[in-house]
Amino acid sequence: MSIDHDDPVFEGHFPGDPVYPGVLLVEAIAQAGVCLVKIASHNTVTEASAAGARVRAIKVLYAEFTGEVKPGEMVNIEVKTFEVSPFLSVFGGRIVGSDGAVRTTVIVEVYVGE
């Protein structure tokens, strides 16, 4: 994922020292995790299957921010499922910078229904 220099979130976060907001990093991990769950259950994700999915974040079980993500940085999103059931999925993920350093680690619980 490439962090765009022109993303409007940098205007107020923080003036003169822009940092990509942690809540958006958590959101990126959650979305990647939902895609992983959908791929695992259907072997594919189409626009139609994604549009019909009911997704609700239930709980952030753990979040640690160990480094900043700056404008123009290229990061990787890594996710792993811990539990998948018809009602809830638990997965973990991390944001890793191009230098290999972990910036964010998250474990989330999400409802992913049809």
Instruction: Give the Å distances, CA to CA, from 76 to 15, 46, 94, 97.
Output: 25, 22, 8, 6
Note the Cα 82 to chain centre separation in Å.
15
Tell whether omega for the bond before 14 is within 30 degrees of 0, i.e. cis. Answer: yes
Q: Has 42 been annotated as catalytic?
A: no
Annotated catalytic residue: which of 1, 9, 13, 19?
13
Residue positions annotated with a catalytic role = 13
